[in-house]
Structure 1
Amino acid sequence: MLGRLRLNHPEHQQSPQVSAHPRVRVPMEITTMSKRNSQAAKTAARERLRQERERQAKRDKVKRQVVVACSIVGVLAVAGGIGYAVVQANKPSHWESVADDKVVAPANTSGKDGTTVTVGKSSAKKTLKIYEDPRCPVCAAFEQTVGPTVDKDIEAGKYKLQFIGGTFLDGDTEKDGKFETGSHGEGSKNAMSALGAALNVSPEAFLDFKTALYSAKWHPSESDDKFKDDDYLIEIADSVPALKGNAKFRDAVEKGTYDAWAVAMSQTFNNNKDGVTGTPSLVMDGKKLTGADGNAPMTADEFGKVVDAALKA
């Protein structure tokens, strides 16, 4: 009997069988709502994406418009710059412009445009023509060695002196009767204009200023276009008593009163009838006066002999 007795001790009782994953039933209305929320989210996301694309498209369009506008401005600026450069390149220089201006002739001159400059006593029977370029280094050497003799001869009434000034060392030429400014500077023209201002003061001031221009102290090398500087010319003029502190002279130099006259004088040189093409050159009675080497005499002794022979001819 005992062997068939079933023990009811709790430790030996079999526990009821329980499922590890019990199935839970989800209400139908919750499932349907979840689907609707998911679709709405997708729709909203698509709408946001569409709006963002539209905004980006607008930004890209504006950017393209800015680029195109800048490109147009750049092209116009370049075209404008080229146009300005062309205009400036074709614009006449100051000296080309004054060539067409009315000539203001200095006092103590005669002839067309006042380009006949003769200094000396009216009683002198003959005239010595001297052709010079203000920047000419050989002219400077001539003036420094022979110049004092010329001044004495003029003072003594031995002959009159006619000055013809050229500006070919500036590179100036004449084409078809029209003055063409050169590319080698403007010192010869500017110094010529200053000589006109000195001549307007007096013939003596002209001669003294010319002597100062060609002096060893003031005359620059041919490659140094120092005479283009008005202040330098005025500084030289201050060494001449008649021009020192002379407001009228200074004003004429700074304003270029005789610039057109300087160009007219240059054209007189270019169109001379004496066959002169270089400087210094001396002519009396239509004949060139030369030394043993065929050029202008460069010593006082040789100059005296050549001139005396011409005066007796």
Structure 2
Amino acid sequence: MKGKGNARARMQAERAARAKKERLYRRLIVSGAVLGGAALLTGVVITVTGSGGGRTDAAMAAAMKGPLVVPQHASGTDGTVITYGDPAVGRTLDVYEDPRCPFCGIVERGLGATMQQLADEGTYKIQYHIATFLDDNFGGNGSKSALGALGAALNQGTKQFAALHAELYKNQPDEREDAFADQDELLSLAAKVPGLDLAAMKKAVNDGTYLPWTAKVDKAAGKDLPEAWKKAGLTGPSGTPAVFLDGRRLSVIDNAQAAISAEDFKGLVAKGK
């Protein structure tokens, strides 16, 4: 009986340790994946599942040192911002995200279509600021590879970018997996997007045409987000997802860690008029 009791106690202790580790890990994500070094939390061990079909770290590093090619339709300083909607519209919705960030996926799947609908109607323009820091925090190259593919779609048009953006988040892997690092995975998702020139996509993704650009986009996002946070009068760690309307932060995730409703989002937008 004593042996069974000890075994039961060990099992309970192991379960408690795993639960604690998971809570710590989730804390890293829930507040928004924090920029820079968040994965170094003591006691959190993150295992990244490789894609098998992606570039090695050395190959990625070499590709990112290639010639800088800025996609057509990019905007902002050095083409580091992706603007969706009429650039002449006065109001601006700034969206900060990382392709591997799970809560960015929750926001996109829950509110992406509504955000873009309002942009299509001229309520505001959307400025996407895309970071790739989760590659550094968790290991792998999925965020950079996904952003490079989005750059290839953007080169064809902002509508193509928006469609692939939605498709990637619709099929977003667990952030501890690195599925987006696989070029074949990205191209299979691109094939689901109507209107994309798949031959051009394949060449750009396999050649890594826009990977040097991703480094500049990531650097700009990492610099701009803390500044946006301060301008909104906020303190504490800044991270993704983060949504600002004319500098005012919109809380787009509720206490249940789900995206707010489309109606609630429209209400937040209307308050700023």
TM-score, structure 2 length as denominator? Answer: 0.70
The correspondence for 2:240, drawn from 250, 261, 279, is: 279
Residue 157 of structure 2 corresponds to: 202
Q: CA deviation at 1:201?
A: 0.6
Secondary structure at the residue paired with 1:161?
strand
Q: Does the alignment pair 1:125 with 2:79?
A: no
Distance in structure 2 (CA, Å) of the matches to 1:293 and 1:219 = 20
Distance in structure 2 (CA, Å) of the matches to 1:139 and 1:146 = 10
* Counterparts of residues 38-187 of structure 1 (less than 5 Å): 93-171=58-136, 184-187=139-142
Question: For residue 288 of structure 1, what is the amino acid of its counterpart?
Answer: R
The unaligned stretches of length 5 or more in structure 1 are 1-91, 172-181
Q: CA deviation at 1:93?
A: 3.1
Distance in structure 2 (CA, Å) of the matches to 1:292 and 1:134 = 17
Residue 41 of structure 1 corresponds to: none
Residue 211 of structure 1 corresponds to: 166
Secondary structure at the residue paired with 1:212?
helix
8 Å CA contact 2:106–2:258 kept in 1: the answer is no
Residue 187 of structure 2 corresponds to: 234
Distance verdict in 2 for CA 1:98–1:112, change over 3 Å: farther
8 Å CA contact 1:230–1:254 kept in 2: the answer is yes
Question: For residue 109 of structure 1, what is the amino acid of its counterpart?
Answer: A
Residue 289 of structure 1 corresponds to: 250
Residue 265 of structure 1 corresponds to: 217
Question: For residue 169 of structure 2, what is the amino acid of its counterpart?
Answer: Y
8 Å CA contact 2:142–2:179 kept in 1: the answer is yes
Distance verdict in 2 for CA 1:122–1:110, change over 3 Å: closer
Q: Does the alignment pair 1:246 with 2:207?
A: no
Q: What's the CA shift string for 1:148-172, capped at 9, x where partnerless?
A: 211211111111000000112112x
- Number of aligned residue pairs: give it: 207
Distance in structure 2 (CA, Å) of the matches to 1:106 and 1:119 = 14
Bigger relative contact order, structure 1 or 2, given CA contacts below 8 A and separation 6+?
A: 2
Q: Does the alignment pair 1:193 with 2:148?
A: yes
Question: For residue 274 of structure 1, what is the amino acid of its counterpart?
Answer: A
**Same amino acid, percent of matched pairs:** 36
Q: What's the CA shift string for 1:256-278, capped at 9, x where partnerless?
A: 00001111111111111213731
Q: Which moved more, 1:132-141 or 1:286-295?
A: 286-295
Q: What's the CA shift string for 1:28-81, capped at 9, x where partnerless?
A: xxxxxxxxxxxxxxxxxxxxxxxxxxxxxxxxxxxxxxxxxxxxxxxxxxxxxx
The correspondence for 2:261, drawn from 287, 296, 299, is: 299
Question: For residue 228 of structure 2, what is the amino acid of its counterpart?
Answer: D
Q: CA deviation at 1:124?
A: 2.1
8 Å CA contact 1:103–1:113 kept in 2: the answer is no
8 Å CA contact 1:201–1:249 kept in 2: the answer is no
Distance verdict in 2 for CA 1:206–1:269, change over 3 Å: same
Secondary structure at the residue paired with 1:241?
coil
8 Å CA contact 1:128–1:159 kept in 2: the answer is yes
Distance in structure 2 (CA, Å) of the matches to 1:147 and 1:165 = 15
Q: What's the CA shift string for 1:197-246, capped at 9, x where partnerless?
A: 0000110000000000011xx21111111000000000000111122x52
8 Å CA contact 1:123–1:157 kept in 2: the answer is no
Distance in structure 1 (CA, Å) of the matches to 2:106 and 2:259 = 11
Q: CA deviation at 1:300?
A: 1.5
Distance in structure 2 (CA, Å) of the matches to 1:145 and 1:111 = 27
Residue 6 of structure 2 corresponds to: none
Secondary structure at the residue paired with 2:95?
strand
Rg larger in structure = 1
Q: How much is the aligned-residue C-alpha RMSD, in angstroms?
A: 2.3
Distance verdict in 2 for CA 1:296–1:103, change over 3 Å: farther
